[in-house]
């Protein structure tokens, strides 16, 4: 098999999606599957939809186009504030987008009119994470402006948590978001269809017995892909943590001193050195590096220790005498490591356990099953 590669178990992604959808459906909340960490990979997106996701969300227009070119007809929402330079394409391929800037919303409206469409707008509200969002006291005024714009329709409001500043969602913040939805309706008139409370970090709140209020949507990516609560790192009951495996090939083995040599150049890309100070260790080098993934986000197999990484090399200390040139090592990845690896041009994606034929027939009709190897 080709190396390096990512092995993706689609059945585990379907299963994880089903678990999350079931947990949230009981609370009156739908799941929008977020595919940005996998670069909008169509087969992974289909696994989310087969598992019950109501639609998809993406941060990059190129990923949305990839999904559409693969025949995806489900609703896709752009969750990063649109670029002015991309408004025509966004209106063409996305049913809706999350917005914070009125100049961008006006440009989307103009693009929609040119295409004889109505583009959905969801306004992002700043609730403490300090990444993107309209300040709550400005929301009503901006919502009225959207309502008055031909070419766009105010579809909802949303918030984001636990990304830039690590601010976790709380029952109080979710209640405040629900109240903002009520306020917008009172000021603007139209019913707010979507109140998107956040992302995978919201799962403890959503399943914790709190009143959900107006929150009826969560944008879930990390929990589906990794089966964990991204805030604590704890496994979510009944979900798989190993849907993705990174495989790399050994290109050198040798016993070398790991003591730093005096006068070493401190190159930025070679600063990761986590191995303890021991005199001799069997050192192996794998053909993968910073260009391919986040080395610090790889879980070392038992008996192996990360020594360092450069742009093209991963250096590991090992006690496994059986490892030789040509051997493969398998790693579990963090969210950041997966995101970088999925975007790396030299990493092959191997898909396993495509959906059963009954699901493919039900979703796309006969003759639409995608053959994967």
187 and 299 co-located in one domain: no
* Helix 136-147 and helix 171-188, axial crossing angle in degrees, nearest 10: 40
Both tokens of residue 316?
Answer: 């590991």
Return the closest-CA partner of residue 320 out of 364, 369, 277, 283.
283
Could you give the CA distance from residue 341 to residue 46 in angstroms, rounded to a whole number?
20
What's the pLDDT at 271? 54
In which band, very low, low, confident or very high, does the pLDDT at 100 lie, cut at 50, 70 and 90?
very high
Residue found by looking up tokens 């649109």 in the block: 82
267 and 192 co-located in one domain: no
Q: Is the pLDDT of residue 265 over 60?
A: no
What's the pLDDT at 32? 98
Q: Which domain holds residue 115?
A: 9-226
122 and 254 co-located in one domain: no
Q: Output the pTM of the full model.
A: 0.90
Domain presence at residue 232? no
Could you give the CA distance from residue 270 to residue 118 in angstroms, rounded to a whole number?
50
251 and 222 co-located in one domain: no
Domain presence at residue 279? yes
pLDDT tens, 50-72? 999 999 999 999 999 999 999 99
Output the domain CATH number for residue 217: 3.20.20.10
pLDDT tens, 321-342? 899 999 999 999 999 999 999 9
Number of domains in the chain: 2
In which band, very low, low, confident or very high, does the pLDDT at 268 lie, cut at 50, 70 and 90?
low
Q: What mean pLDDT value characterizes the chain?
A: 90
Q: Is the pLDDT of residue 160 over 50?
A: yes
pLDDT tens, 337-350? 999 999 999 999 99
In which band, very low, low, confident or very high, does the pLDDT at 164 lie, cut at 50, 70 and 90?
confident
199 and 299 co-located in one domain: no
Domain presence at residue 338? no
42 and 142 co-located in one domain: yes
Q: Which residues fall within 8 angstroms of residue 287, CB to CB, at 6 or more apart?
A: 3, 4, 248, 249, 251, 312, 313
In which band, very low, low, confident or very high, does the pLDDT at 369 lie, cut at 50, 70 and 90?
very low
251 and 211 co-located in one domain: no
Among residues 226, 254, 279, the one where a domain terminates is 226
Q: What is the mean pLDDT of residues 355-372?
A: 43
For residue 123, the cross-strand partners are 99, 157
Domain presence at residue 1? no
What's the pLDDT at 365? 42
Among residues 226, 259, 294, the one where a domain terminates is 226
Could you give the CA distance from residue 172 to residue 185 in angstroms, rounded to a whole number?
20
For residue 216, count CB atoms less than 10 angstroms from its CB and return exposed for 0-12, middle for 13-18, buried for 19 or more.
buried
Domain presence at residue 158? yes
199 and 259 co-located in one domain: no
Q: Is the pLDDT of residue 220 over 50?
A: yes
Domain presence at residue 367? no
pLDDT tens, 251-261? 999 866 555 54
3-class DSSP string for 13-70? HHHHHHHHHHHHHCCCCEEEEECHHHCCCHHHHHHHHHCCCCEEEECCHHHHHHHHHC
Among residues 197, 226, 255, the one where a domain terminates is 226
Domain presence at residue 169? yes
Look at 177-181, 327-331, 365-369 and tell me which has the smallest mean pLDDT: 365-369
Domain presence at residue 143? yes
3-class DSSP string for the chain? CCCCEEEEEHHHHHHHHHHHHHHHHCCCCEEEEECHHHCCCHHHHHHHHHCCCCEEEECCHHHHHHHHHCCCCCCEEECCCCCHHHHHHHHHHCCEEEECCHHHHHHHHHHHHHCCCCEEEEEEECCCCCCCCECHHHHHHHHHHHHCCCCEEEEEEEECCCCCCCCCCCHHHHHHHHHHHHHHHHHHCCCCCEEECCCHHHHHHHCCCCCCCCCCEEEECHHHHHCECCCCCCECCCCCCCCEEEEEEEEEEEEECCCCCCCCCCCHHHCCCCCCCCCCEEEEEECCCCCCCCHHHEECCCCEEEEEECCCCEEEEECCCCCCCCCEEEEEECHHHHHHHHHCCCCEEEEECCCCHHHHHHHHCCCCCCCCC
Q: Is the pLDDT of residue 7 over 90?
A: yes
Residue found by looking up tokens 């490892």 in the block: 323
Instruction: Report the 10 Å Cβ neighbour count for 104.
Output: 19
Q: Is the pLDDT of residue 166 over 80?
A: yes
180 and 154 co-located in one domain: yes
pLDDT tens, 296-315? 999 999 999 999 999 999 99
Instruction: Report the 10 Å Cβ neighbour count for 368.
Output: 10
What's the pLDDT at 255? 64
221 and 303 co-located in one domain: no
Could you give the CA distance from residue 51 to residue 242 in angstroms, rounded to a whole number?
17
Look at 105-119, 184-198, 262-276 and tell me which has the smallest mean pLDDT: 262-276
58 and 159 co-located in one domain: yes
147 and 79 co-located in one domain: yes
Q: Is the pLDDT of residue 77 over 90?
A: yes
């Amino acid at each position: 098999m080709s190396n390096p590669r990512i092995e993706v178990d689609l059945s585990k992604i379907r299963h994880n999606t089903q678990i999350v959808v079931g947990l949230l459906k009981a609370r009156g909340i739908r799941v929008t599957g977020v595919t940005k960490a996998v670069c909008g990979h169509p087969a992974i997106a289909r696994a989310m939809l087969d598992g019950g996701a109501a639609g998809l969300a993406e941060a990059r227009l190129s990923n949305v186009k990839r999904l559409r070119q693969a025949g995806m007809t489900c609703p896709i929402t752009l969750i990063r504030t649109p670029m002015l330079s991309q408004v025509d394409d966004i209106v063409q391929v996305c049913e809706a987008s999350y917005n914070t800037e009125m100049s961008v919303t006006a440009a989307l409206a103009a693009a929609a009119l040119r295409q004889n469409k109505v583009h959905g707008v969801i306004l992002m509200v700043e609730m403490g994470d300090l990444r993107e969002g309209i300040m709550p006291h400005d929301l009503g005024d901006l919502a009225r402006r959207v309502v008055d714009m031909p070419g766009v329709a105010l579809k909802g409001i949303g918030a984001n948590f636990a990304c830039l500043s690590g601010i976790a969602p709380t029952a109080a913040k979710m209640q405040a978001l629900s109240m903002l939805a009520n306020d917008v309706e009172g000021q603007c008139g139209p019913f707010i269809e979507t109140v998107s409370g956040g992302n995978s970090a919201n799962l403890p709140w959503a399943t914790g017995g709190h009143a959900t209020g107006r929150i009826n949507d969560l944008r879930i990516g990390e929990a589906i892909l990794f089966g964990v609560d991204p805030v604590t790192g704890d496994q979510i009951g009944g979900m798989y943590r190993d849907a993705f495996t990174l495989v790399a090939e050994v290109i050198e083995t040798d016993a070398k001193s790991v003591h730093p040599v005096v006068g070493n150049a401190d190159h930025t890309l070679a600063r990761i050195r986590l191995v303890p100070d021991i005199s001799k260790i069997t050192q192996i080098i794998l053909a993968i590096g910073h260009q391919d993934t986040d080395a610090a986000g790889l879980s070392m197999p038992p008996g192996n220790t990360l020594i360092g990484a450069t742009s093209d090399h991963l250096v590991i200390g090992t006690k496994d005498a059986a490892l030789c040139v040509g051997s493969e090592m398998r790693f579990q990845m963090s969210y950041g490591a997966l995101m970088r690896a999925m975007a790396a041009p030299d990493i092959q994606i191997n898909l396993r356990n495509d959906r059963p034929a009954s699901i493919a027939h039900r979703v796309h009709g006969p003759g639409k099953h995608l053959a994967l190897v």
